[in-house]
Amino acid sequence: MPGKVNLTLEILGRREDGYHELRSVVMPVALCETVSVQTRTDGKITLETVGEGIDFSGLADLPMEKQLAVKAVRAFGSATGKSDLGFDIRVVKRIPIGGGMAGGSADAAGVLACLRTLCAPEMSDEELRAIAAPVGSDVPALLCGGTALMEGRGDRVRPLPVGSAEAPHLVVACPGFSVSTKDVYAACDAGNPAWLRRDGATEACRAALEAGDVKALAASLFNGLQGVVDTLHPVTMELREALLGAGAAGALLSGSGSSVFGLAENEEQARMIASRLMGDCRVLVLRMLPRGV
């Protein structure tokens, strides 16, 4: 299950349930978690997590019931009345933890997709997304499988058409620390309201994707959480400036951070930008997956 970047993320207001009303274009990227699920006959749930190229030690302290993969099993069980079923879950993590690329949500989405195949193949995509929404705000969009428009708390999603042009590549800079999404949204409430939205950004992004126009896409990039995260972690702004200085067509904070991405026209340009990025952070060159895996 791939991770994602938000090409736009407009924060439209605070909701009564404490969450925020969003409008966002979400696109999967070719950095995937591998999730496998096997049924057990004794009703127990086990979770084995291994990391490939990332430090996931922060997750080790998280109680099992708080792991999104296990929350997904619980949500599926109570929605389908199959809460007595047991599963062995194995997750190979490759998406940086707390990097704003939805690694934990990808684990949950992967588990839900597996559980549907194993236990409820007749379930519609819409029903599966309804189960996914309370597990995490990014999970329904990931289940869409391709580029999606995400609205509401993240629970209203629909696929977006994309043009046939080659998708741009991304250069992702990972500063190596985790950002708490909850803390960022809380800081937004106390921060500058002008940072939160830019009217027309999402429409411009949709049009650029349909036209396959990288320059227009770069101009439409917007993240309403960026101002707050730059204030909390100035390195995120420095990394964007470094990406732009190295030739990226546009650069943006990914989700609530800490990762930052730059847009490149093709893989060759992306590799050149990556090689120019100095410093001690991890740099990845990734294909975007406008139509999913």
Q: Report if residue 255 touches ligand C5P, rule: CB under 6 A.
A: no
Angle at 91 between CA 86 and CA 96, to 5 degrees: 145
Q: Read off φ and ψ for residue 254, nearest 5 degrees.
A: -90, 120
| Distance (Å, whole) CA 46 – CA 48 | 7
Nearer to ligand C5P, 22 or 70 (CB): 22
205, containing H or E segment: helix 201-211
- Rg of the Cα trace of the chain? 18
Which residue type is seen at 175? P
Binding string to ligand C5P for residues 75 to 114, with x set by CB under 6 A, is what? ----------------------------------------
Out of 8, 24, 67, 137, the residue judged to bind ligand C5P by CB under 6 A: 137
216, containing H or E segment: helix 214-220
**Residue 148 near residue 160 (C-beta atoms within 8 A):** yes
Q: Report if residue 153 touches ligand C5P, rule: CB under 6 A.
A: yes
Q: Report if residue 259 touches ligand C5P, rule: CB under 6 A.
A: no
Out of 185, 238, 265, 267, the residue judged to bind ligand C5P by CB under 6 A: 185
Q: Report if residue 66 touches ligand C5P, rule: CB under 6 A.
A: no
| Distance (Å, whole) CA 236 – CA 61 | 26
Of 18-26, 83-91, 192-200, 230-238, the window that binds ligand C5P (rule: CB under 6 A) is: 18-26
Out of 96, 98, 103, 136, the residue judged to bind ligand C5P by CB under 6 A: 136
Q: Report if residue 181 touches ligand C5P, rule: CB under 6 A.
A: yes
Closest CA to 166 of 266, 237, 264, 86: 266
Least Å distance, CB 142 to ligand C5P, is: 11
State the residues that interact with ligand C5P by CB under 6 A. 19-20, 22, 136-138, 153-154, 181-182, 185
